[in-house]
C-alpha cells in the first residue's frame, strides 16, 4: 500500500494532510525518514512512526482501555468528558467508538473499535457475550442476596428475569458477578433489586479478554480480535 494511503486509512487526516506529513519528513519506517508519499509498503506487520510515535498498521482498530471514573462513553457527552478524549486523534478520526457503555462512575475494561461487525457481534443480545464486574456493595452481602442474583430478579421495564451467570465472593462487601446481557444500569439495578446498593463498579472482563494488571486507569492498548472472542 502507498504510504499516503496507509496514513489516510489510519486516521492521520485528509489525503492532502497525510501527503504533507510525509513530504515534510514527519514519517519514518525502520528508523528511516520516508518523504515519498507514493512509496509502497507491505502493511502486514508494518509499524510506522509519525513525529516519533510508533503505530502498528491495523485494518480495524481494537482498543482495550481501563476507563477511569468521571468519563462518559457517549460521543457527545453531557456532563463529563468523553472516553474518546483519552485516545489520540488518529484513533478518533478513524471512528473508533465504545462497544456498549459503562456508566460515568464505572471503571475498568472498555473495548473500543471502528469495526462495526465486531460491535454487533459483541453487543447483540442473542450472542450472550460474558462480562465480569467487580462489585463493591454499600452493605454486607448476604447468602440470600447471592441466591436471588443467581436465581434472577425482575427489573422495572423488563419482561423476563435477569440472572447472574456466576458469582464469586471476595469479602463481605465485594464480589465478582458474571452476566451475559447488557441492559441499562444492569448491575446496579440487579443489586438494588436484592436490597443492597452498588458503591463501586469495575469491569474486569469482556468475552475472553481480562483487564491486564499493567493497564492502569486511563491507559489503553491495541488488542487482537482473537483475544476477545
Q: For residue 89, which of 28, 5, 18 has the smallest C-alpha distance?
A: 18
186 binds ligand URA (CB under 6 A): yes
Of the residues 57, 152, 185, 200, which one makes contact with ligand URA according to CB under 6 A: 185
Q: 201 and 67 in contact (C-beta within 8 Å)? A: no
Q: How far is the CB of 208 from ligand URA (least distance, A)?
A: 19
Rounded CA Rg of the chain: 21
Spot the catalytic one: 40, 51, 103, 172: 103
69 binds ligand URA (CB under 6 A): no
Instruction: Cell 457503555: give the residue.
Output: 101
149 binds ligand URA (CB under 6 A): no
Q: 7 and 38 in contact (C-beta within 8 Å)? A: no
Q: For residue 49, which of 10, 85, 86 has the smallest C-alpha distance?
A: 10
102 binds ligand URA (CB under 6 A): yes
What are the residues whose beta carbons fall under 8 Å from the beta carbon of 120, sequence distance 6 or more? none
Q: How far is the CB of 188 from ligand URA (least distance, A)?
A: 4
158 binds ligand URA (CB under 6 A): no
Of the residues 8, 55, 71, 106, which one makes contact with ligand URA according to CB under 6 A: 106
Of the residues 5, 49, 82, 103, which one makes contact with ligand URA according to CB under 6 A: 103
- Is 103 annotated as catalytic? yes
Q: Which is nearer to ligand URA, 112 or 187 (CB)?
A: 187
180 binds ligand URA (CB under 6 A): no
As a whole number of angstroms, the distance between CA 14 and CA 24 comes to 15
Start-to-end Cα distance in the chain: 29
The site for ligand URA (CB under 6 A) is made up of 102-103, 106, 185-188, 201
Give the active site residues: 103
Amino acid at each position: 500500500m502507498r504510504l499516503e494511503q496507509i496514513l489516510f486509512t489510519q486516521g492521520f487526516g485528509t489525503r492532502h494532510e497525510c501527503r504533507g506529513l510525509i513530504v515534510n519528513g514527519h514519517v519514518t519506517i525502520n528508523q528511516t525518514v520516508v518523504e515519498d508519499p507514493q512509496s509502497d509498503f507491505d502493511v502486514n506487520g508494518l509499524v510506522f512512526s509519525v513525529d516519533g510515535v510508533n503505530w502498528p498498521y491495523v485494518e480495524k482498530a481494537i482498543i482495550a482501555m481501563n476507563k477511569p471514573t468521571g468519563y462518559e462513553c457517549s460521543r457527545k457527552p453531557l456532563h463529563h468528558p468523553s472516553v474518546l478524549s483519552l485516545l489520540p486523534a488518529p484513533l478518533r478520526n478513524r471512528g473508533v467508538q465504545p462497544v456498549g457503555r459503562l456508566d460515568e462512575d464505572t471503571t475498568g475494561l472498555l473495548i473500543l473499535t471502528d469495526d462495526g461487525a465486531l460491535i454487533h457481534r459483541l453487543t447483540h443480545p442473542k450472542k450472550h457475550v460474558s462480562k465480569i464486574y467487580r462489585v463493591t456493595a454499600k452493605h454486607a452481602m448476604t447468602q440470600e442476596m447471592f441466591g436471588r442474583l443467581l436465581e434472577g430478579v425482575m427489573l422495572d421495564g423488563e419482561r423476563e428475569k435477569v440472572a447472574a451467570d456466576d458469582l464469586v465472593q471476595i469479602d463481605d462487601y465485594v464480589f465478582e458477578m458474571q452476566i451475559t446481557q447488557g441492559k441499562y444500569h444492569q448491575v446496579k439495578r440487579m443489586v438494588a433489586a436484592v436490597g443492597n446498593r452498588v458503591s463501586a463498579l469495575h469491569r474486569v472482563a469482556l468475552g475472553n479478554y481480562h483487564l491486564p494488571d499493567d493497564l492502569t486507569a486511563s491507559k489503553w492498548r491495541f488488542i487482537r480480535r482473537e483475544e476477545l472472542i
